[in-house]
């Protein structure tokens, strides 16, 4: 194992609830609907554009808006999100993550971010982890969002590794699919029936450690 490719939302910190708050405000103000709570899960790991398309479908309002109107909704969503995101600090880092990053770094393993979020650098800065990573893949530079493999391939490329030399960490089914399609080894964090395609699933970030990741890597290779 030469590298670890990290998803951000749901693996390092919980921005999903902030994204969902922002989408709920757009849905209410611009579409006059309220999003059910379980919709939060459907939007995890999904890009901003793919998210609005799912919401418009749900509202039964696909094809009712021009691309300029959709752009305006996306801008509003991001403005709401940035306001929420501004409240994050290092208390919002998931348990065990800082320790894991330090263990991996000491072992000479390269660390890269494979998040769908264009705000990933800002989030990592707010929670004080930006300097721990060797690279951050830019989601605006890849053709296809998760579940396509592009963002994990790009995250590995940025640390000069082939994906098969890396483990990818994900909390979303679309993200696990993305890791497997990139030909990296997938460790899922969350519910094993939702993340059934992962090579190993742990219930929460507390379970992650250098030795666990090395064991998974060596048992799959």
Sign of CA dihedral 178, 182, 183, 187: negative
42 in a labelled binding site: no
Choose the one of Mg ion, ligand G16, none that binds residue 47, judging by a C-beta under 5 to 8 angstroms depending on kind: ligand G16
Closer to ligand G16 by Cβ: residue 172 or 189: 172
- Burial environment of residue 114 by CB neighbours within 10 A (0 to 12, 13 to 18, 19 or more): buried
CA distance linking residue 21 with residue 170, whole number of Å = 22
Nearest distance in Å: CB 114, Mg ion: 10
CA distance linking residue 85 with residue 122, whole number of Å = 9
186 in a labelled binding site: no
Q: Where does this chain bind ligand G16 (CB under 6 A)?
A: 7-10, 16, 19, 43-48, 51, 78, 115-119, 172
Annotated catalytic residue within 7, 30, 150, 199: 7
Q: Apex CA 114: angle with CA 113 and CA 117, to 5°? A: 100
Q: Which of residues 36-55 bind Mg ion (CB under 5 A)?
A: 45
CA distance linking residue 108 with residue 106, whole number of Å = 5
Nearest distance in Å: CB 7, ligand G16: 5
Choose the one of ligand G16, Mg ion, none that binds residue 115, judging by a C-beta under 5 to 8 angstroms depending on kind: ligand G16
CA distance linking residue 36 with residue 70, whole number of Å = 21
**Residues contacting 186, CB < 8 A, separation 6+:** 167, 168, 170, 176, 179, 180, 197, 198, 199, 200
218 in a labelled binding site: no
User: Which residues of the shown chain bind Mg ion in the complex (CB under 5 A)?
Assistant: 7, 9-10, 45, 171-172
- Residues making up the annotated binding site for substrate are 7-9, 23, 43-48, 51, 77, 115-119, 146
- Residues making up the annotated binding site for Mg(2+) are 7, 9, 170-171
- Residues making up the annotated binding site are 7-9, 23, 43-48, 51, 77, 115-119, 146, 170-171
């Amino acid at each position: 194992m030469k590298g670890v490719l990290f998803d951000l939302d749901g693996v390092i910190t919980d921005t999903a609830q902030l994204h969902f708050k922002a989408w709920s405000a757009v849905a209410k103000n611009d579409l006059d609907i309220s999003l059910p709570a379980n919709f939060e899960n459907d939007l995890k790991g999904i890009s901003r554009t793919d998210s609005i398309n799912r919401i418009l479908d749900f509202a039964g309002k696909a094809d009712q808006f021009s691309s300029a109107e959709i752009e305006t909704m996306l801008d509003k969503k991001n403005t709401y999100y940035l306001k929420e995101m501004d409240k994050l600090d290092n208390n919002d880092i998931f348990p065990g993550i800082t320790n894991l990053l330090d263990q991996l770094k000491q072992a000479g393993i390269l660390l890269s971010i494979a998040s769908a979020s264009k705000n990933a650098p800002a989030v990592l800065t707010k929670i004080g982890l930006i300097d721990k990573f060797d690279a951050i893949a830019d989601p605006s530079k890849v053709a296809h969002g998760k579940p396509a493999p592009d963002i994990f391939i790009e995250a590995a490329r940025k640390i000069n590794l082939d994906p098969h030399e890396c483990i990818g960490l994900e909390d979303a089914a679309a993200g696990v699919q993305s890791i497997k399609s990139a030909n990296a080894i997938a460790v899922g964090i969350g519910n094993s029936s939702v993340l059934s395609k992962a090579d190993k699933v742990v219930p929460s970030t507390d379970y992650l450690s250098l030795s666990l990741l090395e064991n998974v890597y060596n048992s799959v290779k």
